[in-house]
Amino acid sequence: MCTRCESFVFSAAPASHASAWQPRRAFLLAAAGAALAGPALAQVSVGNASMARNLVPAERIETAGVQQYGQLLEQARAKGALAGDGNAQLQRLRTIANRLIPFATPWNTRARQWKWEVNLIGSKQINAFCMPGGKIAFFTGILDQLKLGDDEVAMVMGHEMAHALREHARARMAKSAGTGAALSIGAQLLGLGQMGDLAARAGTQLITLKFSRSDETEADLVGLELAARAGYDPQASVSLWKKMAVASRNQGGLSFLSTHPSGPDRIQKLEANLSKVESLYREAKRS
């Protein structure tokens, strides 16, 4: 049995399938067409996205993301661990996502076509991700164990959305072509079982993908800006990673904490960028 499924905590079957939605309003930035160089009016500085990603078609990685997301939801649903639309925590996540999504497109014009989706999986794991194509999932463990406030949830969500928007998985897939074995090890570690094997054979295991330190820094900063523009307090990025640091001292090496080490370096970089997004946050709070 899958170790993740064993820790699923919802008992009731979900009432209905989760619905996708489109952003309600457009985010007007001067250089929306600048795609992955980052918007011209961006406050954080992350440079150009990796050219290596161009070796893999964006459609391919987005399709894989949607497929793997569907498999994960199906597995959770079968265990009664997929939160239904009426779940209060899920509604909270979707409210936060609805505020962040309008600010995503300037970071990647492909996101205009994405069918964003947010789901909550009952699991003690401290974990959250956004698959290529805008498929977001949170595990109840990250909300409950870290006792995340809305601003902190927005920082996690912004960070994960940034990985998708900056196409880090696509770049990793291109760089690791021929190293499917390494990716399937990640699937085994998480106890994904057959689903993990299938995903590994398909080319990559997106859920367990470990990004580089520079990808992580980029996701921190882009996520920080997304959340600030959506009216979430930038200071929450620091409190979030302090909570992560405490949790990682108390837990084993699996899940989010193993792929997201929370050291002083990470917190210092965030602190150094707080002033850049402070005015965006204040502006959003006024409107």
What kind and span of H or E run contains 120? strand 117-121
DSSP code at position 17: P
Backbone angles phi, psi at 131, to 5 degrees: -70, 155
**Closest residue to Zn ion, based on beta-carbon distance:** 219
CA dihedral for 89, 207, 198, 118, sign (positive or negative): positive
Cβ nearer to Zn ion, comparing 216 with 233 = 216
Q: Which of 117, 152, 160, 167 is catalytic?
A: 160
- Number of chain residues interacting with Zn ion (CB under 5 A): 2
Least Cβ distance, residue 211 to Zn ion (angstroms): 6
Cβ nearer to Zn ion, comparing 126 with 219 = 219
Least Cβ distance, residue 164 to Zn ion (angstroms): 10
| Cα–Cα dist 180/146, whole Å | 33
Give Dmax (Cα) for the chain: 51
Angstrom CA distances, 141 to 7, 114, 127, 186, 196, stand at 10, 27, 7, 20, 21
Cβ nearer to Zn ion, comparing 79 with 243 = 243
Contact string (CB under 5 A) for Zn ion, positions 202-231, x = contact: --------------x--x------------
Whether residue 118 contacts residue 97, with contact meaning beta carbons closer than 8 Å, is answered with yes
Least Cβ distance, residue 42 to Zn ion (angstroms): 19
Cβ nearer to Zn ion, comparing 81 with 270 = 270
- 160 given a catalytic annotation: yes
Instruction: Give the residues lining the site for Zn ion (CB under 5 A).
Output: 216, 219
Catalytic machinery residues = 160
